[in-house]
Amino acid sequence: MSDTTTTAVTGRINGREQTLQIDNADLLLDVLRDLGLRGAKPSCEMEVCGACTVQLDGLPVSACTTLAAEIDGRDVETIEHLDADGTLHPVQEAFLRHSALQCGFCTPGMVMTAKALLEQDPDPSREDVVHWLEGSICRCTGYATIIDAVLDAAEVMRRAR
């Protein structure tokens, strides 16, 4: 017996169209993780820590507070898609260069947030980066290396264009 109903939704997840039979109460984070996409992490469950950040039609969203039903007809991109062609995204490369991680639990969300920022604004100021990362908590690093990495990635991406 269930007090919710199920719906079929069709969305593109990491570039591949999929039809999923989902419970209307399902959260996007749980559905993604059940699909084996476990880079996005559950933590605060209140949309403040950013560990579950994925891109929905290019915008960063907290998968912990997004209903899975909302992906119908839309594009979802998760951290797993970034190196699908075998090469790391410039943001990932920059995180490695700057050692911008410790425990790594926040890292997928940080990377997805930074990627979304750089897609919107290829030349952000340090203040812009700090502002965008305000919704992503890191408890290990003290943020400085992460901010440096995002600015460095921006420069690398600008030069590559």
Partner 1 sequence: MPDELKVVGHSVPRVDGPAKVTGRAPYALDLTVPGMVHGIAVRSERAHARIVSIDVEAAEAAPEVLAVVTAASVAPLDVRFGHVARDHPALACDRVMYHGEPVALVVARTPRAAARAARLVRVHYDELDAVIDAETALQDDAPLLHPDRVAPLGDAGLDAGAADLTGNLCAESTVGWGDVDTAMAAADLVVEGEYRYPMLYGYAMEPYNAIASFEEGTLVVHSTAQHPYMVREDLARMFGLPLARVRVVVPYVGGGYGTKSYTKVEPLAALGAWVTGHPVRVALSVEEAMLTTRSDGAHIRARSGFAADGTLLAREFDVVMDSGAYTDNSPVVCAKLANRCFGPYRVPAVRVRVRSVFTNTVPASSLRGFGAPQGALAGELQMDEAAQRLSIDPVDLRLRNVVAPGEEILPRKRGIDADLAEDLRMLTGSLGWGGPSAPGTGIGFGLTASDAGAHPTSVAMVRLHADGSASAAVGATELGQGSRTVLSQIVAECLGLPFDRVAILAADTGATPYERTTGASRTTTLVGRSLQAACADVRRRVREVAAEVAGVDASAVVDLPAGVSVGGERWDYAEVLSRWFGAGGELVGVGEVRRAGEFQAMPPFWEVGASGVVVDVDAETGVVSVLQLTTVGDVGIAINPVLVHGQDLGAATMGLGAALSEALVYDGEALANPNVVDYRVPRSSDVPDRLELLLVERRDGIGPFGAKGSGEGALNPIGSAVAAAVGRAIGVFPHELPLTPERVWRLAQERVGDVRT
- Which positions from 80 to 99 touch partner 1 by CB under 8 A, shown as an x/- string? x-xx----x---x--xx--x
3-state helix, strand, coil in the chain (%, to 5): 40, 20, 40
Nearest to partner 1 of 10, 29 (CB atom) = 29
Q: Does 108 interact with partner 1 (rule: CB under 8 A)?
A: yes
* Among 121, 144, 155, 158, contact with partner 1 (rule: CB under 8 A): 144
DSSP letter for 81, please. G
Burial 8-17 (b: 16+ CB within 10 A, else e): ebebebbeee
Span interacting with partner 1, options 11-19, 42-50, 55-63, 67-75, rule CB under 8 A: 42-50
Nearest to partner 1 of 66, 78 (CB atom) = 78
- Judge contact between 94 and 149, C-beta under 8 A: yes
Q: Does 119 interact with partner 1 (rule: CB under 8 A)?
A: no
Nearest to partner 1 of 45, 72 (CB atom) = 45
**Residue 87 and residue 44: Cα distance in Å, rounded?**
31
